[in-house]
Structure 1
């Protein structure tokens, strides 16, 4: 659906997301996708249209009066459709709940366009606690050593060292500029345009100094990016993901290894090495310490070792 066919109230909300709350374009697109889907579905239900053709439903005429007629039951009906017909996972449905809550909160709290926020009581599906997927030290070592001899090895090694040592997001890595680095510190722009400063350890400094000696010339405009493609353009997160995939295929052949899993690897290893949870929260750029706490998991093998080392284990009845 093109931007021109969106209802005005949705356009206004999307502009608010990026200009006021500082959401990224990617997040804005996700909110747009979710809200377009819910509007099309509920309009199809009202007009008794087949739900397998909701992509044809025109929502350009949706107004605040139409939205005022919606109920909490309508939202649950939409979530049921997502689960049963679209076979969305619990995580995908939880994201849609978050989108709806944000949208209706905006309508009531920011715009004063509705008297009742029907999404306030909307419950998200329960998500099972998943341990972060990460590389162990041996796998990470093999991964790093396999970069040597590759095309653009100095650049790729520097990027991988930043991901593994700093635990930064791939979008943060791509947005780094030459002037982001001062001495041994790098300024990272995280979610919501929040800045944080992260220390560069010896491994990062060595990889950086080696890369800068053969860095490609930037041929674009604006601030000079740190990581540049052979064509002289800023690297994108998709390109970095492809680089990680190629290194993985040559070195480990782990299932679906992504830059985000390298971030998990960094965080897990830092925690195992004794990093306290608050320091880790700052390094990773988490707004809530609850997010950081997923890295405080303990391996089953470690639990078994603790139990075996219990002094009472030596008692024989």
Structure 2
């Protein structure tokens, strides 16, 4: 890399460390992205930061996209470029910030991962004797039964449970309260845990789910316990609380087709947030269609090279 490019990068790194007090890791990320831009500039025939124009930044974004970077990664690159050129402007080394009005392409929305019904039945149809595993089963049954967020589960208090009425009251985002149904298996698992809980709870402790020391179980501990549960039970993918919530939503929508009801159960303020599960449901339907419909996927008989051949001979 020519000195005309590398020198300014070294000065910028010192600026981030000494003036902005950024961590070494943050500085490393900035420099890595900017070094990639510097290599591209040299390949494009320029060796001066001041020669970069908005048009060329757009070309660079297109190159990053062609190289397989997603919208979020490109946005990070653009952020580094904008920050770098703010510094160069302050030092009087360039006349403008060519990345100022450039935006990254939108990322395709990631569909949440779900576990199928059979896998969840296998994971939850157990009868543990260890009190902590009884607690874990109650947590996971409740999450899948009622679609709770991790924060809602961790923050759950005894006063929010009504096992006789098969209901639970949760405080969701924006401190919005909602009352959710609790399935029979979840209620039974909770009943077993509450009987064990007495041996752990200190006087006046309101939390439903407790650690071995008797304090409220943390979100991180819940995540770790669920991941461990999946390993012990032989899950074919890593389990996490979001997957249980997503599986609840997908399975509810698959069975009922009632998007508005699923929105209410999940506590989504905007139905557009819930609509992602319609894509999941369609994926399931598409797989069933491809596997079941006689004209969905035409397969040639073994040994035939005619893609239009009919297995029935018609």
The TM-score by the shorter chain falls in which range?
0.5 to 0.7
| SS of equivalent residue, structure 1 residue 213 | helix
Q: 1:58 aligns with which of 19, 23, 26?
A: 19
Task: Determine helix, strand or coil for the equivalent of 1:186.
Answer: strand
**2:145 paired residue number:** 165
Q: 1:92 to 1:173 in 2, by over 3 A?
A: farther
Q: Is the 1:147–1:247 Cα contact (8 Å) retained in structure 2?
A: no
Within the alignment, does 1:234 sit opposite 2:220 as a pair?
Answer: no
**Match of residue 71 from structure 2:** 90
Scaled by the length of structure 1, the TM-score of the pair is 0.60
Matches within 5 A, 1:22-171: 50=11, 56-59=17-20, 90-91=71-72, 123=103, 125-146=105-126, 148-150=128-130, 152-171=132-151
> 8 Å contact 2:201–2:214 — kept in the other structure?
yes
Q: Would you say the 8 A contact 1:147–1:153 is kept in 2? A: no
- State the match for 1:284 in structure 2: 266
Q: For 2:209, what is the secondary structure of its paired residue? A: coil
Any stretches of 5+ residues in structure 2 without a counterpart?
Answer: 1-7, 22-53, 79-100, 297-311
> In structure 2, the residue corresponding to 1:257 is in which secondary structure?
coil
Q: For residues 184 and 125 of structure 1, do their structure 2 counterparts lie closer, same or farther at Cα, with a shift above 3 Å needed?
A: same
1:266 alignment partner in structure 2: 248
Aligned residues of 1:180 and 1:186 also touching (Cα < 8 A): yes
Return the TM-score normalized by structure 2.
Answer: 0.60
Distance in 2 of aligned mates of 1:209 and 1:282: 26
Q: Whole-Å Cα distance in 2 between the matches of residues 95 and 284 of structure 1?
A: 31
Aligned partners of 1:265 and 1:253: how far apart in 2? Answer: 14
The change in CA–CA distance for 1:147 and 1:245 in structure 2 (over 3 A counts) is farther
What is the aligned length? 228
Partners of 2:249 and 2:106 lie apart in 1 by 25
Q: Distance in 1 between matches of 2:224 and 2:197?
A: 19
Contact kept? 2:131, 2:196, Cα under 8 Å: no
CA distance in 1, matches of 2:117, 2:236: 14
Give me the whole-angstrom Cα distance separating, in 2, the residues matched to 1:228 and 1:88.
Answer: 43
CA deviation after TM superposition for structure 1 residue 253, in Å: 4.0
* Unaligned stretches of 5+ residues in structure 1: 1-46, 61-72, 98-120
Counterpart selection for 1:302 from 274, 281, 288: 288
Quote the Cα distance in structure 2 between the aligned partners of 1:215 and 1:204: 16
> Deviations for 1:108-133, whole angstroms, at most 9, x for unmatched residues?
xxxxxxxxxxxxx8745322233321
Cα deviation, residue 301, structure 1? 1.6
Q: Tell me the C-alpha RMSD between the 2 structures.
A: 3.9
Deviation at 1:261, TM superposition (A): 1.0
Greater C-alpha Rg = 2
- Kindly state the Cα deviation for residue 172 of structure 1 after the two structures are TM-superposed: 0.9
Question: 2:73, 2:268 → 1: CA distance?
Answer: 21
Counterpart CA distance in 2 for 1:268 and 1:307 is: 23
Corresponding position of 1:218: 201
For the pair 1:203 / 2:164, whether they are aligned, the reply is no
2-structure distance, mates of 1:53, 1:260: 40
Quick one: distance in 2 between partners of 1:173 and 1:264? 15
Q: Are the aligned partners of 2:72 and 2:104 in contact in 1 as well (CA < 8 Å)? A: no
